Amino acid sequence: MEASKEDREIVNRYRGLLRACRTRVTTDDVKLISRAYKEVVNLYKDKRSPSGLPYVFHAIDVAKICVDEIGLGGTAVVSALLHDTITDNLLSLADIEKRYTKSIANIVEGLSKISSLDPKNPHTQAENYRELILTLSTDARVVLIKLADRLETMRTLGSLPRAKQLKVAWEAFYLYAPLAHRLGLYRLKSEMEDLAMKYTNEEEYRQIIRKLKNTTTKRNKFIKEFIEPIEKELKKTELEFDIKGRPKSIFSIWKKMQKQGVTFDEVYDVFAVRVILNSPPQREKSDCWQVYSIVTDSWAPNPERLRDWVSVPKSNGYESLHTTVVGPEGKWVEVQIRSKRMDDVAERGLAAHWKYKGIKQDKSLDQWVTKVRDILETSSSAPEDLVNLFNLNLYQKEIFAFTPNGDLKKFPKGASVLDFAFDIHTDIGCKCTGAKVNGRIVPIKHLLQNGDVVEIITSKSQKPKLDWLQQVITGKARGKIKQSIREDRNKQLTLGKELLYRRLKNWKIPNPDEAVQELTKHLRLKNSAVLFEQISTEKINLSDFKSFLLHQEKDSVQPVEQIEKPKTRTKEQTKSSTTDYLVIDEKLINIDYKLAKCCNPIFGDSIFGFVTIREGIKIHRTNCPNAPQLHQKYGYRIINAKWKQSEIEKSFQTTIKIIGLDELGMVSKISELISNDLKVNMRSFSINSSNGIFEGKIQVFVTDTKHLDTLLYQLSKIKGVQKTIRMNRD
């Protein structure tokens, strides 16, 4: 783009920003926005984004997302325009406060503090997460602008290198999309997930896009037929309403396909119908239930699929009534019923949450922020644990339980009686021995269900045990259990140490520290701390070792922990590992690597390398089921990898799933096609049959993805075969 064209484009984008601001900012705000715009154009006149476009495009687009898609005001727009100026050392905090306002300066400073939420060091990552939550509870606009910044980055990912695309995509999956979800920004969350999937599961993404386009006409006809009877009945009431149908996000459709093991055509709810009511606050709830009655009179509902977030909103403030009904042609349709206020909160999240402050339902998000902040401020867990706690609190389905007095408690799905006890009070949790749930006595590991009434049973002699960590999932419970166990162990260590040193003094042993080391070695213990602990718990009787300590005898038994000798590599192994059909990081030569068994990548797959502790580098598929966890927990151990053409033909193992009609000779047809016609080696073939349908798993050796695609296509042509797919987890 020529300079003059770029200048015109900058002006056009700025005008678009001002149009979006028209109804949301004051005259004074416009003056500050104009000043910030001119300053950013001047400061960044020579800088370009990683995509190659002028950096000013990015700054203006982030500001426009803030006002247009999140619903923020003038202060946030100015802060968004200036969001990188402190990080880039172009302006100081004092400069911004002097030229704009203190509030804008504080927001930009907050953005500079959380400018990198994804460092390679997990210790630093935990500190950034803590900073993020403290910022969220101080001025949430900082986090909302950060999300806008990340969304704009993801929209321009196409021009970046493959490794950078994957890194940004995985960050969206495990941090930014869940955070947007928790803050109620559902539209932004869905777009982030779709954009991330575009790079991590490119082929599946394109297939779903293609299917959605091909079925648009048919889908619109179906939605019209579904809506007509509902609309007819709604017009007979005095309700003001808007009703529309929309397809679900690409990522959510793909998740359903994976979870249910079905194709696109078999996903029954690829779209949802939404009814939005223009009701006053005092009538919102009753109007929603009136519409529910009309919908379920028109189409038969599935009682198990009713979700009432109108009576009890989600922790992020989300309110809506969801039901799934049987529509035309016997197909399931999800219907969402909500007021305009509820829809505003659902679409714009936290920004709308501020707008409707004072309405009782909107306290949920504040409670969540307070709870997570409390975890991060008080927990003495390892940094990796803090990261896990934070992520757990971002993206969990909820259940609701009650105390005997009728107080409502919210928990992640899968919470136990022990989680409930710690939520009431730490002391009650530490002394919990069980509970009465709906009048029935249950153990501490009993999982809570929606609507349970829980009365905790305690005992003064009870104290937390290590296996309790397997019984809880909430951050507060895990943190308090670890803290209690740690304190108890420290007491035991102190007591054991005092007992041992007192006894050594009584025996007049001249060098007690050396004696402790000798005894630890003699007993083959890992360290002296274990020795002290076993003395305090009376697992070791010191009198039995008096003679040994007085004579300083050498223990003839070798220590348990020995250094493992490196195994001699065979010629075959050496040859295999140096076969040049893979390039690791393009900077490393002759590095030992293995293909991960969890996903069995084959030539042509999109891949990455993961540095293991004992087994060198393992190669995983980009869409490996373990990829999100590896990127999240061990991002610093991820390295680039790509296939390289080689003269040596290599075979790769993969697993195919095949489903079809259980007919006579089917196994023979499949085996003959694979072994005789296509000359593909089979390692194993297992098959199960039920109600006339068979499901088989075949492990085969192929040379690359094209070879595999040919095999899948030929198998699908066998009469009676309904589906052939490569399994995600081999």
> CA 74 → CA 21, 63, 64, 259, 561, distances in Å?
8, 10, 11, 43, 63
Alpha helices in 552-626 (DSSP H): 571-578
For residue 251, pLDDT over 80 is answered with yes
Percentage with pLDDT > 70 across the chain: 82
Residue 11 has phi, psi (to 5 degrees) of -65, -45
The pLDDT of residue 275 is 93
Q: Are 573 and 630 in contact (CB under 8 A)?
A: no
Question: How far is residue 632 CA from its own chain's centroid?
Answer: 9
555 pLDDT above the threshold of 70: no
Residue 552's pLDDT is: 52
Tell me: the pLDDT tens digits for 20-76? 888 778 888 889 999 999 999 998 888 888 777 888 999 999 999 988 888 888 888
- Angle, helices 122-138 vs 102-113, to 10°: value is 160
Mean pLDDT of 312-324: 82
Q: 632 vs 612, which has greater pLDDT?
A: 612
Confidence check: pLDDT of 226 > 80: yes
The pLDDT value given to residue 369: 56
State residue 162's pLDDT score: 84
Residue 382 vs residue 655, higher pLDDT:
655
pLDDT reported for residue 558: 37
Q: Is the pLDDT of residue 456 over 50?
A: yes
pLDDT, position 525: 83
Ranked by mean pLDDT, the top range of 68-77, 224-233, 635-644, 691-700 is 224-233
The per-residue pLDDT for 349 is 62
Average pLDDT of the segment spanning 398-422: 84
Neighbours of 288 (CB within 10 A): 23
pLDDT(523) > 60:
yes
How much is the pLDDT for 373? Answer: 53
Rounded alpha-carbon distances, angstroms, from residue 184 to 81, 85, 176, 627, 663? 24, 28, 12, 26, 51
The mean pLDDT value for 669-680 works out to 81
- Given this model, what pLDDT does residue 134 score? 59
Give whichever of 285-294, 374-383, 601-610 has the largest mean pLDDT: 285-294
Q: Which residue has the higher pLDDT, 396 or 492?
A: 492
**Mean pLDDT, to the nearest integer, of 445-452?**
86
Confidence label for 119 from pLDDT (cuts 50, 70 and 90): very low
Helices 74-81 and 141-155, packing angle to 10 deg = 50
The string of DSSP codes covering 523-538 is: TT-SSHHHHHHHHHTT
Q: Which two tokens stand for residue 480?
A: 């308090």
Q: What is the mean pLDDT of residues 4-19?
A: 88
pLDDT at 374: 56
For 187-208, what is each residue's pLDDT tens digit?
A: 888 899 999 999 988 888 898 8
- 204 by DSSP, 3-state: which? helix
pLDDT at residue 572, rounded to an integer:
39
Higher pLDDT, 261 or 145: 145
Confidence of residue 432 (pLDDT cuts 50, 70, 90): very high
Q: What is the mean pLDDT of the chain?
A: 79
The answer to whether residues 696 and 686 touch, using CB atoms and an 8 Å cutoff, is: yes
Q: What's the pLDDT tens digit per position in 557-600? A: 334 333 333 343 333 333 333 344 566 544 555 567 788 888 88
Kindly tell me the burial class for residue 436, based on how many C-beta atoms sit within 10 Å of its own C-beta (0-12, 13-18, 19 or more).
Answer: middle
